[in-house]
Structure 1
Amino acid sequence: MAMVERFGVAGGTSMAVTLGAGDRLTIRDAEGLQPAGLVVLEGDLGPLPERLLTGATAPGSSVTLEAPTASTVVISAPGADMAPDEQAPPTDLVVEIARHGANARPLPPPLGRVKAELHIDAATASAYKVSAGDYIQVIDVDGKQCSDFLAFDAARLDDGEEIGIDATTTTTLLGAAYPGPGLLSKFFDGRMRPLVEVVRDTVGRHDTFALACTAKYYEDMGYPGHPSCSDNFNGALAPYGIAPRKGWPAINLFFNTAMGSDNRLSSDEPWSRPGDYVLFRAMTDLVCASSACPDDIDPSNAWMPTDIHVRIYDKAQEFSKGNAHRMTPDAIPRLTRTSGFHDRTSVLTRNLVDYRGFWTPDCYAGNGPIDEYWAARERCVVMDLSALRKFEVIGPDAEALLQKAQTRNLAKLAVGQVVYTAFCYEHGGMIDDGTIFRLGLQNFRVVCGDDYLGVWLRQLAEQHELKAWVKSSTDQLGNLAVQGPLSRTVLEQVIWTPPVQASITELKWFRFTIGRIGGPQGPAVVVSRTGYTGELGFEIWCHPKDGVAVWDAIWAAGKPHGLAPLGLSALDMLRVEAGLVFAGYDFDDQTDPFEAGIGFTVADKAEDYVGKTALARRRANPLRKLVGLEITGNEAIGHGDCLHIGRAQIGVVTSAARSPLLGRTIALARVDALYADLGRTVEIGKLDGQQKRIAARVVRFPHYDPEKTRVRA
């Protein structure tokens, strides 16, 4: 059976691939309307179609070519920058290569100039030296293959002292099972000194709990004499004077293990795909060792050990930091990226977190969450929310598609208007919430939190044979939220709108206008009167190339009014006070809009839509309800804490925050409908839910401005 490799060509970029004789190359336009280009640099692909993918294609359209000889080709996904009021983003192409016969899967291309590399055959291990500052890339060549990793301080080894990575110290210092790219990225030794930093991780699932496999493990399983990683390490490390051990406490990259709530260590097949990798940076001179685990008696290597490849890159090179994100398990991975505002936010803070695949400030060094919170409530704040997912829904059946996909009646949505809505599965559970902008008669923009929504919308269009395209525009639209009582005052100085568009002063709640920054020749923007804070506020949508200019203009206009930057920590306080729900916390695919507290989004419309029957049944027979809680005392409360009446659990806390304005801890919680009446006393269970209880009372929510007078101001 031919091996199939999958790559992605991002919209507006190109990539080179190598083919062997007989290999089959497929170029697929997953979203439709995206042209493709192909140039043969070496070899021959025979006669090429006059037009590969013309840009007038349906989602999923493809062409397949077979290479008669070894060839190198460049594939491009051409496209220009998209203005914020346009709907033609360049989107990704999927490239698939089916290798013929004995043609081997090539190693993934290097990340940069390679200083040294070594190939580790299945069931073996190797040791190698790495200089301080250099990068170490450990690659899973064929996927689902574990690789144990050891690192020792080389200088201490020269003095006869073995000091290596200490998983217990690392876990204790980080408060996490293992490091990842970002702030909490270091592996420490027993002296609490960092030895390696995690720069990139395309898997995000590893083992730091158990030993590298040992001879004893195989003996106890009935396989005496079976090779083990620990024995292989002993042989590889002997030339460096490192004493052998029965079992090495290694960092097992790609191994899928977890400690359960039942205090049991579980394991399963690795999550890694072919070409996945972890990129480290040496914090000091190191002696390292890597293995290709020989375990073929359980799922740890998917029952078939394969090879590992290690590359060393010079410290003079620079690599972006990031995790890999996939919208579906088989999707092309995307490393954590930065927004068009990153050049400005990153000089104000180092506290950046990977939020939905974007490096986003959690809080700012010169302010802090409490100060940022008060700035939003009393003055004005600016926040980078570019991580929100954007989809352009266009075509003659665009409205018909969205009428089937969500709970609002779009027939009532005017051009220039925005509506908040819910997207549900057939059983009534929610896929996501989001807003829909109507840019034209059959032109819509969906803004939500989850990439998968775009996949699902395309599947729905195909299922109902609707002529509509769903084009990803996240990378073409930066989103800067300007929120607070003085937000209109600030933006009046910045946003120019033509006579046919509403001015900032005229813009009504849940409407948008199209304008420019500073005047008719300034950067193009779309401005919506929307937000996630419960305050008067706006969102500015622009192309990332204009992000710095947009930030600078707003920053300059806002400074006299006390404008401050806002991070995710302060935003969480604001949205919990305002009763605004968050995916994965206040709702999921087991929660319907009524149980999520947004039943108002379920319209009584004639058209059939996904989940309509289930939602009618759920509305008539509610089982659970979202309520507000006021908590007695100052104990920390968090998502997932159980709610009890007596011994019985009757609900769960979905979101909680300490409210600076109200001076108490508040929460949103989903409870059995029988116990949702206002004033009801309940208890929050801590520890195991029974040994410790914290009193709380069911109250109306939103806790802050329940009539929404401020946001409507």
Structure 2
Amino acid sequence: MNIQSVKIKPSFPVPFERAGVIVPGLPILPQGVERHPIPGGGSRALKISKGDEITIQDREGLQPVEVVFFASDGTSDASMIGAKGGHDPKGLKATLLHDTSGAKVMQTLELSGFNLGNADGTLIFASDSHAGDYESFFASCDGLLIVCAIGRAMEPYEQCPSTEVALYIRRANPGYPKNILLPPDPLADPLRDLNIQPGEAKPYVVKAGQFIQVLDVQGRECSDFQAFSLRALDKGIEREIDPTTTRSLMGALYPVPGIMSKFFSVDQEPLVEVIQDTVGRHDTFGLACTARYYEDLGYPGHINCSDNMNRELSRYNIQPRGGWPAVNFFFNTILDETNAIGMDEPYSRPGDYILLRALTDIVCISTACPCDIDPANGWNPTDIQVRVYDQKEYFKRSIGWRKTPGADLEETKKTGFHDCFARHTRDFVEYAGYWLPNQMTNHGAIAEYWAAREKAVVMDLSPLRKYEVTGPDAEELMQLCVTRNIKKLAIGSIVYTAMCYDHGGMIDDGTVYRLGETNFRWIGGNDQSGLWLRKQAKEHNLNVWVRCSTDQHCNIAIQGPLSRDILKQVIWAPPQQSTVEELPWFRLTIGRIGDFHGPSVVVSRTGYSGELGYEVFCHPKDAEQVFDAIWAAGEPLGMIPLGLSALDMLRIEAGLIFAGSEFDDQTDPMEAGISFTVPLKSKSDNFIGRSALEQRKAHPQKKLIGLDLEGGVIPVPGDCIHVGKAQIGIITSAMKSPILGKVIALARVDVMHSELGTELEIGQLDGDQKRLRAKVVSFPHFDPQKERVKGNY
């Protein structure tokens, strides 16, 4: 029987809502429905049972998908899931050989004895699919389903990124109780796999080098954790994680993946380090819950974690305590303006976890908190899973992040250039979902800064979000969504612009690259801008596709007076393209490294330093070759790598704004100091936010200004600005300028106090007990005529 794909409306996730409370961080699916995201260029294999409904959704559009189904006897026939077969799954075969997710699929095929060479493939979304399109199928027998979002390495001048698809399985027989979530698959084969029910505590021994995963199965559940040095216990000495020592040595409320990642004992011995954290919000201030806590609230006899820990730790001759100091994973501690410690529901979602590595042999204990009388566990205590993995396993360091509250978890990634910069530093910090260098080991921020001002630097800007905007209505969409006049943007040109909400507040700032009549590339600071473009395309029924290409384009910036001299030795351009020497400001050229046969690159004369500079875009597979060629030309001229610390100094001097500092969704472009991006007179077309911006421009309230400060104290972003007692603004960014030899700042103040020469005071401590004298000056503080970035020096 050949049942064709059934076009029904499947059940997609919706945010949890009860009594007017919406929790998008807890997306819910109907009973028996599973969701499995498949990254662009990736694959997934799942066991299927007779009667299961299979739905595949193209998240961004134009993403071809290959599907293969094997019955239990190894035969492959697309009609067994009601699909049209006869397609050779070449893309799937290539993916399984080269993609990291393909290894698990290949292992599944080998264990099952299935031959991919005999696969009867199905191709869906072959052309013209739009964001959200889906196909559904039904399984007429048991078997193995393989789904692949096929794709290839995209050249930097192309606009065909492979993007994510979502696979939904509605099980005919779910096999587990309603509203109960099962723990996700282990990260590797576990040595121990413990389930801890609410009101339980379980001890376990972990050897040096082994990994500990503490996992919140249902979401919104706290888990107290303690670890004792086994060597000290053997001597009759209790040496466990001491939160106060840890905070003091790490300089943070709790360790995070990266350099500052260790938990210490009171003897300052490191016991465990954090490898992965998908939540990033925990507690190291309070005790594990105690009998006294419940008694004082009128619940005598309530089960509590401290008593549970005392009972279980007694077998190791550890003395009982009235309340155990512990690392309370997932607990949401809040410190208010009166220094009172409060709590709210945890941030953790189902399957969130923290992964630790033991630095010595330790005795550990973990709990599932039983508290059901306050928001500590979302009023509903659930279970915790603890898994221990062998030291031979490899887990990369990562911090979990999501594009939106309801989006899938993504791990912190390495950029294509990560290993190139890792030759020069170990100081990497998480930035927008990627690891970026902070300072170079043998240089430091000041040396990197001066190299940018006097010679040249190379920096990694790969986390910038790139979205390909293509289709007949691409220009109309961009004209609608950004403040600049895109109709005037020539092919090969770039424009810096703002993107606003209807009320005039900024979503993002970024650049628009025009690659063709109907081909644009948006490069911004966050994914919200790209998602906003896709949302508007759908709501305005425009024939256009908006697809994320961030992971297809990594980019380095070569900035400084010698940047042109360096790149002209490296970049080859065909006759129809501009050479590096010919390239004007805010123009792009398409070329190659070295010669006609070198890796493909897009070079733009843009940057974020206030200096003459360029950005070079390439595919991650070519990143090392591109970096090495530029490094070979630049190092003899004094070029060095530059990290985020020095970059922040450069951009403040140059008056370049940064999201979360100079602007947010309550700040309009005029208040952010980029009024030139809102040409209300020359752009007659309507665009999102125009009406609000016209009113805001006619009745300004705030203005971004420059400040010179007396003395050497550098204010902190968020410090209040006063005229007498009244607060009239805040500091957005500040630094001590090496080249100007003084403290400078950017600030947003009331327009009544924004005139040049106005004397202001910056409040510290409580705003009144300490004041810094400042004067309003023009900005940019350095090179106000932008002669350096234009190359006129």
- 1:7-18 alignment, distance < 5 Å: 7-18=36-47
Note closer, same or farther for the CA distance 1:37–1:269 as it changes in structure 2 (3 Å cut): farther
**2:250 is equivalent to residue 250 of structure 1:** no
For residues 267 and 45 of structure 2, what CA distance do their matches in structure 1 show? 46
Pairing 1:31–2:60 present: yes
Distance 1:506 1:434, change over 3 A: same
* Aligned pairs for 1:291-330 within 5 A: 291-330=367-406
Q: Distance in 1 between matches of 2:260 and 2:46?
A: 35
Residues 628 and 539 from structure 1, CA distance in 2 versus in 1: closer, same or farther, beyond 3 angstroms?
A: same
Give the whole-Å Cα distance in 1 for the aligned partners of 2:193 and 2:409: 24
Instruction: Kindly indicate whether the alpha-carbon contact (under 8 Å) linking 1:131 and 1:285 is maintained by their aligned counterparts in 2.
Output: yes
1:700 corresponds in structure 2 to: 778
Distance (Å, rounded) in 2 between the aligned partners of 1:73 and 1:286: 43
The 1:174–1:23 alpha-carbon spacing in structure 2 relative to 1, beyond 3 Å, is: farther
Match of 1:626 in 2: 704
Q: CA deviation at 1:506?
A: 0.4
Q: How far does residue 607 in structure 1 lie from its aligned partner after superposition?
A: 1.7
Q: Where in structure 2 are the equivalents of 1:49-198 lying within 5 Å?
A: 49-50=83-84, 51-65=123-137, 72-98=144-170, 102-103=175-176, 105-198=181-274
The Cα shift of 1:4 comes to 4.9
Alignment of 1:494-513 (within 5 A): 494-513=570-589
Q: TM-score normalized by structure 1? A: 0.97
1:210 is aligned to 2:278: no
Deviation at 1:183, TM superposition (A): 0.9
Q: Is the 8 A contact 1:6 1:332 kept in 2?
A: no
Match of 2:763 among 685, 702, 705: 685
AA paired with 1:49? A
**CA distances 1:231-281 after superposition (whole Å, capped 9, x unpaired):** 221222121111222211111111122212221222122111111110000
**Which deviations, in whole Å up to 9, do the C-alpha atoms of 1:525-545 show, x marking residues without a partner?**
000000000000000000011
Asked whether the equivalents of residues 436 and 447 of structure 1 are also in contact (C-alpha less than 8 Å), the reply is yes
Question: What is the aligned partner in structure 2 of residue 490 from structure 1?
Answer: 566
Inter-partner Cα distance in structure 2 for 1:66 and 1:169: 58
Kindly provide the amino acid, as one letter, of the partner of residue 27 in structure 1. I
Residue ranges of structure 2 left out of the alignment (5+ in a row): 1-29, 85-122
- Structure 1 contact 630–664 (Cα < 8 Å) conserved: yes
Mapped partners of 2:484, 2:143: distance in 1: 52
C-alpha displacement of 1:340: 1.1
Q: Is the 8 A contact 1:20 1:103 kept in 2?
A: no
State the shift of 1:5 in Å: 4.5
2:83 and 2:285 map into 1 onto residues whose CA distance is: 54
Shifted more, 390-399 versus 309-318: the winner is 309-318
Q: CA deviation at 1:481?
A: 0.1
User: Retained in 2: the 8 A contact 1:491–1:554?
Assistant: yes
2:754 counterpart residue number: 676
Equivalent position SS for 1:581: coil
- Measured in 2, the distance between the counterparts of 1:69 and 1:56 equals 31
1:29 touches 1:92 (CA, 8 Å); kept in 2? yes
Residue pair 2:226, 2:240 contacting (<8 A) in 1 also: yes
Q: Report the equivalent of 2:686.
A: 608
Candidates 735, 740, 744, aligned match of 1:657: 735
In structure 2, what is the Cα distance between the partners aligned to 1:74 and 1:123? 41
> 1:15 Cα shift?
2.3
Q: Which digits, 9 at most, give the CA deviation of each residue in 1:529-562, with x for residues without a partner?
A: 0000000000000001111001100000012211
CA positional deviation for 1:671: 0.5
1:27, CA displacement in angstroms?
Answer: 2.4
| Alpha-carbon distance in structure 1 between the residues aligned to 2:255 and 2:460 | 25
The answer to whether the 8 A contact 1:7-1:332 is kept is no
1:203-352 correspondence runs (5 A):
203-352=279-428
Structure 1, gaps ≥5 residues long: none
The alignment of Structure 1 onto Structure 2 pairs a total of residues equal to 713
Alpha-carbon separation, structure 1, partners of 2:47 and 2:207:
32
Q: Which residue of 1 aligns with 2:109?
A: none
Q: For the Cα contact (< 8 Å) 1:682–1:698, is it kept in 2?
A: yes
How far off its partner does 1:124 sit?
1.1
Q: Write the distance in 2 (CA, Å) between the matches of 1:22 and 1:644.
A: 69
Q: Is the 8 A contact 1:36 1:55 kept in 2?
A: no
**SS in structure 2 of the partner of residue 237 of structure 1:** helix
The RMSD of aligned alpha carbons is 1.7
Partner Cα distance (1:664, 1:87) in 2: 46
Q: Is the 8 A contact 2:238 2:318 kept in 1?
A: yes
- Residues 339-369 of structure 1: CA deviation (Å, up to 9, x unaligned): 1111110121011000111110011011111
Which digits, 9 at most, give the CA deviation of each residue in 1:373-422, with x for residues without a partner?
Answer: 01000001100110111000111111111111110000000000000000
Q: Deviations over 1:73-125 (max 9, x none)?
A: 33221100100000001011123445655536443222223222212123211
Task: Report deviation, 1:650.
Answer: 0.6
Distance 1:66 1:156, change over 3 A: farther
Shift of 1:471: 0.6
Is residue 477–residue 542 contact of structure 2 (8 Å, CA) maintained in 1?
yes
**1:375 pairs with 412, 428, 451, which one?**
451
Alpha-carbon deviation of 1:148?
1.1
Distance 1:697 1:21, change over 3 A: farther
Paired-residue identity, %:
54
Q: CA deviation at 1:609?
A: 1.1
CA distance 1:529–1:15, shift in 2 (3 Å): same
Counterpart-to-counterpart distance in 2, 1:68 and 1:149: 47
| TM-score for both structures, normalised by structure 2 | 0.88
2:653 and 2:609 mapped to 1: Cα distance? 8
Provide the secondary structure at the position in 1 that maps to 2:659: coil
1:64 deviates by 3.6
Deviation at 1:13, TM superposition (A): 1.0
Provide the C-alpha distance between the structure 2 equivalents of 1:161 and 1:21, rounded to a whole number of angstroms: 59
| Conserved 8 A contact 1:207-1:258 | no
Question: Which amino acid letter does the alignment assign opposite residue 261 of structure 1?
Answer: E
| Whole-angstrom distance in 2 between the partners of 1:42 and 1:192 | 58
User: Out of 703, 708, 726, which is 1:648 matched to?
Assistant: 726
Change (3 A) 1:518 1:207: same
Q: Deviations over 1:275-298 (max 9, x none)?
A: 111000001001001111111222
Secondary structure in 1 aligned to 2:649?
A: helix
Offset at residue 53 of structure 1 (A):
3.3
Mark the CA change 1:257 to 1:26 in structure 2 (over 3 Å): closer, same or farther. Answer: farther
Distance 2:422 2:568 in 1: 27
Code of the residue aligned with 2:505 in structure 1: it is G
User: Is 2:468 the partner of 1:392?
Assistant: yes
Deviation at residue 55 of structure 1 after TM alignment: 4.6
The offset of 1:141, in angstroms, is 1.2
1:153-188 per-position Cα deviation (integer Å, ceiling 9, x unaligned): 011111111110111111111221111101111111
Report the Cα distance in structure 2 between the residues aligned to 1:647 and 1:269, rounded to whole angstroms: 37
The whole-number CA distance in structure 2 between the counterparts of 1:258 and 1:19 is 45
Q: SS of the counterpart of 1:347?
A: coil
